[in-house]
Amino acid sequence: MNTPDAMILEKIYSHEKAYADEVFMTQPVGNGQVINYTWAQTLDQARRMAAHLQSRGLPHAAKIAIISKNCTHFFMAELAIWMAGYTTVAIFPTEQADTVKFVLEHSEASLLFVGKLDEWHKQSPGVPAHLPCIAFPLAPETAFDRWNDIVANTIGITGNPSRDANDLAMIIYTSGSTGQPKGAMHSFAHITAAANGIIGQMNDNLGSNREHRMLSYLPLAHVFERAFVESVAFIHGRFHVFFAESLDTFIQDLQRARPTIFISVPRLWLKFQQGVFAKMPAKKLNTLLLIPVLGNIVRKKVLTGLGLDHVELAGSGSAPLPPDLIRWYRRLGLNLVEGYAMTEDFAYSHSQTKNKNDPGTVGPPYPGVEVRISPEGEVLIKSPGQMVGYYKRPDLDEQSFTNDGFFKTGDLGSRLPDGQLKITGRLKEQFKTSKGKYVAPAPIENRLNAHPMIELSMVSGSGFDKAYAMVVLAEHLRPQMHKNDVRQQVESELNALLQKVNQQIADYEQLKMLVIAKDAWSIENGCLTPTMKIKRSRIEFVVQHDVEKWYGDSKMVVWA
C-alpha cells in the first residue's frame, strides 16, 4: 500500500481509504471548542476545492498562494492545489504588505487563499486588486468567496489524479533575513524523498508502525514545519495533527495535543526554560533533580507543566541551540535532538540520532545526504531533498552550487571523526575587527544565550578594536527594569557572564561589553524573521548612532 517509491499524493490516497474514519486533524475554534477532521473528511473537502480551482480555468501549472497561520484548511488547500495540477506558494502570516506584494507578483500567483491572520488590515494593501481570493473558515471578515460555501456547492474530483515526479509541488520563499525573499522550487520527488527519510530515522528512534501526535504551530510557510509536520503526516498516515489557537492558549493547546513528537526553534526552547526558572530558580531546580526519587517527581512535574510529558522525541532546528540548553532538557528526561538543514534541501540534511548526539553538534547526515567541507571551511551539501533551483533566478543557481552539484550553504563547519557535523558560524556573518582578525558571532552568541537572564543576543563590532554583544533580557525580567535592586542584580550577573565567556574564547574574539537592548526584538519591529532568527543588519542599523558612545564608556555592562 505504501511502497517507498510512491509519490506523496499516492500515499495520501491510500490513507484516505485505509484510515477513512480516523481523526487526522484537530482545529481549535475558540471558547475551548475544537473541530475534528477524519482522513475522509479532509480529502472530501480537498477534492471539492480542487474541482473548483479547475473550474476557474487557471493557466497550466498555475501558482496558487496561501497566506494563513497554521490551520486544518492550510493542509486541505495544499492538497487541493496539488490534485488540481497546480503549485503552492505559501506566504508567512506575519509578513508586511510590501513582502506580500513582492511574493504574489514574483511568483505570478493566479489566486490567493486567505486564512487565519492577526493583521490582515495591514497586509491586504499588498494584494493586487485583480487577484481572485478565497477565504478560509477562520479568516478575518472579507468580501471574498468563502471556502465553506464553495465546498458545499461543488462536486469533488473523483479518482486519484497524479502528478509527475518532476512537477513543482511548492515554491518556498525564504524568510528574508537579508534582502528580498528567494523562491526555492521543490518537486514532488524531492519532498517525498525528504519526508520518507525523516520518517525512516524517526522509526529508527521510536519504532515502526507507531501512531503519533504533533502540535503544528511553527509557520507552515517555513520549510521546517512543512517538512517535519505536514509532509511527514501526509506520508506516514498515522499522525494526529493538532493546531494551536493562539499564543495565549499555547500551553492549553499543548496539553490538549499531548504530543509524542514535538519540534521547536531555539528561541522557544529558551523561553520555555526561562518560564520554568521564573517559577523555580535554576540552582534550586538543579539541586532537586539530583535527589533520588524526588528528582523523578520534579522532572515529571516540570515537563507536565510545559505540556511535554508525553514527548518521546523532541527536535530543534532553524538556528543553533546552546549545548548547555540541550543538556538541561536531557536532564529533565526530554529526548531532545538538534538538526541542521535549510529551505534549499527541504529540511533534509543532518540530525542527531540515538547513538550520535553530542551537544554542540547537529549529528550525522541523514541517509542519502552527501557532505563535504570546502577549503574555506564552508559546509557543502547534496541532498535527496535538494531544490530544483531558485524561481526565476538562474543567476543565483549558478552562484549557489558547485560544478558537481553540491549546494553552498554559507555555513562554516567541521566534521568529527564519527561523521557528526559541528556548525561554527555563517560565512557572511563573520566580521573583521580593527586588529584585522575575523570574528564568527554564532558560537559566542550560543554561550551568551545559555544564561537564564538572556533571551537573545547579537555579537557585532566591525571595525572596532574589540567586538561587543547586544542582549535582550529574559521576558520575566523586562517589566522589572525600573527596580534598582533588579538592575543591580542584572548588572552583577552579566558582568560575571562577560568575564566567563571571555575566558572561554580566543583573545581576538573577546567582548568589550554587553549592551542591554532597550526594547525586545520582535517580528513586528523588524528585528526578527518570521522564524525568529535575528536580522543583524536591521539591529545594527537601529543602533548605529549609539555604538561609538558605548565604546567610549568604560563599563562592562551598558544600558542602551
Q: 277-290 as b/e, with b when 16 or more CB fall inside 10 Å?
A: beeeeeeebeebbe
CA 331 to chain CA centroid, nearest Å: 24
Yes or no: say if 460 and 450 are a contact pair by the CB < 8 Å rule.
no
Interval 499-531: pLDDT, tens: 999 999 888 899 999 999 999 998 888 898 887
pLDDT for residue 245 is more than 50: yes
**Distance, CA of 276 to CA of 274 (rounded, Å):** 5
Cα–Cα distance list, 371 to 320, 412, 433 (Å) = 19, 13, 31
Q: Is 317 left (phi over 0), alpha (psi -120 to 50) or beta?
A: beta
* C-alpha to C-alpha distance for 81 and 334, rounded to whole angstroms: 38
Mean pLDDT, the chain, whole residue set:
92
- pLDDT > 90 in the chain, percent: 72
- Residue range 343-426 forms a domain whose CATH class is mainly beta
What integer is the mean pLDDT of 197-214? 91
The pLDDT assigned to 531 comes to 76
Domain borders along the chain are 42-186, 343-426, 431-559
pLDDT higher at 537 or 326 = 326
66 forms beta bridges with 90, 113
**Predicted local confidence at residue 431, as pLDDT:** 86
3: cell is 511502497
Q: Are 20 and 40 contacting, i.e. CB atoms less than 8 angstroms apart?
A: yes
Instruction: Average the pLDDT over 211-234 and give the result.
Output: 96
Q: Given a cut of 80, is residue 71 above it in pLDDT?
A: yes
Mean pLDDT lowest among 231-235, 334-338, 380-384, 445-449 = 445-449
Average pLDDT over every residue of 196-203:
94
Q: Is the pLDDT of residue 438 over 80?
A: yes
Q: How confident is the model at residue 175 (pLDDT cuts 50, 70, 90)?
A: low
Q: What is the pLDDT of residue 435?
A: 80
- Give the right CATH number for 42-186 from 3.40.50.1820, 3.40.1410.10, 3.40.50.980, 3.40.830.10: 3.40.50.980
DSSP letter (8 states) at residue 308: -
Reply yes or no on whether the pLDDT at 177 is more than 60: no
Rounded Cα distance, 256 and 28, in Å? 10
User: Which tens digits make up the pLDDT trace of 284-343?
Assistant: 998 999 998 999 999 999 999 889 999 999 999 888 888 889 999 999 999 999 999 999
Options 3.40.50.2000, 3.40.630.10, 3.40.1000.10, 3.30.300.30; CATH of 431-559: 3.30.300.30
pLDDT value of residue 179: 65
Angle subtended by helix axes 282-289 and 294-306, to nearest 10:
130
Q: Which of 134, 174, 139, 140 is CA-nearest to residue 154? A: 134
Distance CA 358, CA 540 (A): 33
Residues 224-260 as b or e (16 or more Cβ within 10 Å = b): bbbbbbbbbbbbbbebbbbbbbeeeeeeebbbbbebb
Which pTM value belongs to this model?
A: 0.87
Residue 1's pLDDT band, with cuts at 50, 70 and 90, is very low
More confident residue, 100 or 434: 100
What pLDDT score was predicted for residue 321?
Answer: 85
